[in-house]
Structure 1
Amino acid sequence: MTPHTVAILTGASRGLGLALARALAAPGVRLFALARTVSTDLAGHWREQGGDLEQIPVDLSDAGAAQQCADRLAAMLPQDAQRYLLINNAGTVQPIARADRLSDAASLQAALQLNVASPVLLCAAFLRATASLDADRRILNISSGAGRNPMPGWGAYCAAKAALDHYTQVLHAENHGVRIASMAPGVVDTSMQADIRHADRADFPQLERFVALHEEGLLSSAQDTAARILARLEHPDFGTPVLDDIRHYSFDQTSQ
């Protein structure tokens, strides 16, 4: 069966990525789900929903693996769909440390590869593979408010998300005929938030704020956030603005 929608999603095995992967499942949708691990539960969910799922195990913090995966996707994307989506969701907040302690080159390189370089590689592959197609093409880069507001202790993460935001604006300015946005998803109840709550207070002065958000039930669920993000991605004016924030919309507004 010819798919109506072909989608690529990174970080699909847990948290917001898993919620997005589950919400995308539908007849006529083919999803290439990229993650370090393969999920049998996700595969079963897609079978039940009648969609076509291909899980690609890859560590996108590894430059060589990311390059090979991007090239593979560029060569294998179906060419007869009506819509193509790329959702760069995978990311890490690590390493959490004040500037004078950001001294581990390997962890910095892995974080920048995962948060910035791999999305750039996948965008390039997506653009190459779909450039000649008469189809609706959309790219969603999952950013963070940390890319737009400095957060002590998050030097690596803030720098990476700011870079992703600016890259997205460059991609828009180049006018590839693709609707594109860099979306801040808000504070979502995922394993990343658990990592943040276990940070050293000496490295992350705002630790108590994030602990309180969790204890007071103020974190958004991954499922609700995924639904809101996909509704926005479907909206006719997706890509306006290029730097977006899901908290600017009610669910009704994004689903109109």
Structure 2
Amino acid sequence: MQASTVAIVTGASRGLGEALALGLMQQGSLVLTIARRQNDALAARAAATGCALKQIQADLADPAAAERVAQDLAAALPPDAQRYILINNAGTVEPIGQASNLTNAAAITAAFSLNVSSVMLLTAAFLKAVQPLQADSRILNISSGAGRNPMPGWGVYCATKAALDHYTSVLHAENHGVRVASLAPGVIDTGMQEQIRGSAAADFPNVQRFADMHAQGQLSAPADVAARILRYLDHNDFGTTVLDDIRNHA
């Protein structure tokens, strides 16, 4: 079966990534997901919709695994689709802590590997695969307001998201013929938010703010945000604004 759309989503085992993958599933599409765990809900939706699904199990915080997946990805993309999409969604907020306590080199390295390095590796593979095809190709990097505004206790997270934003700007400047954007998705009710609310105030002084947002029902549902992001991704002017925020769009 020839796929009209081929979409790759990282971090699709739960939260926003799962919601994005579910939203992309329709007859005639091929969805490839990359996550540490298989997802039964995705398999069920694929069977119900007639969408082709390939779940790739890998830990993108491991540089060797990320490099291997990137190499396999380039070979897995069929050459005859009308549209190709890469959504780099996988990410971590850890380690959380004040700058004087960020002493775990392995944890810091893993965060940069997942939030930045894996994006670069997957993007390189995607570009090499789609550039000869002359198809509509789009890359969406899921960023954060933390990459644009300093947040005490999130030195690692802020640094990785700022790097992701600037890398996306470089991609745009290089003009690969692929539309690109780095998008802040807002505050979403996901497992990452549970981690944030579990932080000690000494490590993350703004923890109470996030606890209050959760208690007051101010967190967005992943499915709602995913629907808005996919509409945004489908716009004809996608990529015109390279660093964007979904809250700027209806």
* TM-score interval, smaller chain: over 0.9
Q: Return the letter of the residue paired with 1:78.
A: P
CA distance in 1 between counterparts of 2:153 and 2:161 reads 14
CA RMSD of aligned residues (A): 0.5
Encode CA deviations 1:50-96: one digit per residue, 9 max, x unaligned. Answer: 10000000000000000000000011210000000000000000000
Q: Which residue of 2 is the match for residue 83 of structure 1?
A: 83
User: For residue 68 of structure 1, what is the amino acid of its counterpart?
Assistant: R
Asked whether 1:136 is paired with 2:140, we answer no
SS in 2 for 1:236: coil
Tell me the equivalent position of 2:123.
123
Task: Give the aligned length.
Answer: 250
Report the 3-state secondary structure (helix = DSSP H, G, I; strand = E; otherwise coil) of the residue aligned with 1:244. Answer: strand
Q: Which moved more, 1:34-43 or 1:180-189?
A: 34-43
Q: What TM-score comes out, normalization by structure 1 length? A: 0.97
What stretches of structure 1 of length at least 5 have no aligned partner? 251-256
- Are residues 1:72 and 2:72 paired? yes
Structure-1 residue corresponding to 2:188 = 188
Percent of matched pairs sharing the same residue:
60
TM score, norm. by length of structure 2: 0.99
Report deviation, 1:227.
Answer: 0.2
SS in 1 for 2:132: coil
State the SS of the aligned residue for 2:163: helix
Which residue is 2:110 aligned to? 110
1:23 equivalent in structure 2: 23
Q: Which amino acid aligns with 2:7?
A: A
Mapping of residues 149-188 of structure 1, within 5 Å: 149-188=149-188
1:63 aligns with 2:53: no
For 1:231, the equivalent position in structure 2 comes to 231
How far residue 41 of structure 1 moved from its aligned partner, in angstroms, is 2.1
Are 1:212 and 2:212 counterparts? Answer: yes
Which runs of 5 or more structure 2 residues have no equivalent in the other structure? none
Write the distance in 2 (CA, Å) between the matches of 1:166 and 1:39.
32
Residue 38 of structure 1: aligned partner: 38
- Which deviates the most, 194-203 or 36-45? 36-45
